[in-house]
Structure 1
């Protein structure tokens, strides 16, 4: 009996059915892990990084309101959109884990994370546009450097895979953006701001986990 043209589709459907059945059995037999707790690496990472990302989004929006430079506007938009999406992911994690999403930051805590002060944020509104563009690049580069210093705990084995994947994505994306913004600063004859060094008796936020 000759095989019909439907035979491959039947075999594929059977294979898919067997796969689905096997997956269902696997999920039933796999014990469900408890959700991360309030002091876990996963929860602390998500809450701190949401606060950090929200300021990056603000920085990007401020410069986009004033700059007409296509390169600056494009870089700021890329940062804004990517970090808005990551904030949505992290808020989704926290909802799933039944954890609050707000995280108040002290001035010292924010400084250690490379975040801009209120005066620095205001400067993006008040400086002449060319100077504001340079200031944006400086502030965002320092901001990204702070984010990279927050990532190591979330990259450790044992951290939930979805959190490690997101942290790795941030590491790659923001590392590339740092290099790009540094090149823009160099072209404008400007220097990168120094990242704040940890005090001798303090630990980098998130590094205690």
Structure 2
């Protein structure tokens, strides 16, 4: 379990990283409206602007921009399970990740398009729980129980990052749909973390 504890340290201070990224977005520009409307001097971190999906603020934009590549990496991890995973419960988690996160990616991309915002914030390195290139290589090189164990360890850290970002969105976001999705992420991925811990305990 020493390796697991070392890997999960990447999740420490995640809320601060997300908050810093949100503040950086706000500092880069206060135009959170496609029409450039005047918000009367209100900070863009709290001001809401009309969009195809209702009102939104910088926290909503950052949540989508960061969660899209975060989900995409989870899907990459899940794809590696094909032909490598052995444990039936690991395979169930893989199926759950694929079922939930691909539609969520499409939904968040649609939001950003409707809000007139780019899909990428250009700060992928700051995303909570993201795996390194070496982590992904290690996972790809594993097979059978070794893969199952490595996958569980890495996905716990990955999910913990997603949960932290989702909780920040619940706290700071202004868009009802985005906050609802954040709630779904917290519920689903917290349950999967618990299941993955059970899997690790018996592997």
- TM normalised by structure 2 equals 0.69
Greater Cα radius of gyration, structure 1 or 2: 1
Equivalents in 1 of 2:102, 2:165: separation in Å?
18
Unaligned 5+ runs, structure 1:
1-31, 189-209
Aligned residues of 2:159 and 2:189 also touching (Cα < 8 A): yes
Aligned residues of 2:87 and 2:145 also touching (Cα < 8 A): no
Three-state SS of the structure 1 residue aligned to 2:119 is: coil
Alignment of 1:86 with 2:101, yes or no, is no
Equivalents in 2 of 1:44, 1:157: separation in Å?
11
Deviation at 1:157, TM superposition (A): 6.8
Deviation at 1:162, TM superposition (A): 0.6
Equivalents in 1 of 2:173, 2:98: separation in Å?
30
Q: Which residue of 2 aligns with 1:69?
A: 87
Aligned residues of 2:170 and 2:182 also touching (Cα < 8 A): yes
Deviation at 1:33, TM superposition (A): 4.8
Deviation at 1:74, TM superposition (A): 1.7
Q: Which residue of 1 aligns with 2:145?
A: 130
Equivalents in 2 of 1:50, 1:164: separation in Å?
15
Q: Cα distance 1:158–1:180, how it changes in 2: closer, same or farther (>3 A)? A: closer
Equivalents in 1 of 2:200, 2:86: separation in Å?
17
- TM normalised by structure 1 equals 0.67
Equivalents in 2 of 1:60, 1:162: separation in Å?
26
Q: Which residue of 2 aligns with 1:5?
A: none
* Aligned 1:37-76 pairs, distance under 5 A: 40-76=58-94
Deviation at 1:152, TM superposition (A): 2.7
**Number of residue pairs aligned between Structure 1 and Structure 2:** 153
Equivalents in 1 of 2:145, 2:74: separation in Å?
20
Unaligned 5+ runs, structure 2:
1-47
Aligned residues of 1:64 and 1:76 also touching (Cα < 8 A): no
Equivalents in 2 of 1:144, 1:78: separation in Å?
13
Aligned residues of 2:173 and 2:179 also touching (Cα < 8 A): no
1:100 is matched with which residue: 99, 112, 118?
118
Aligned residues of 1:51 and 1:103 also touching (Cα < 8 A): no
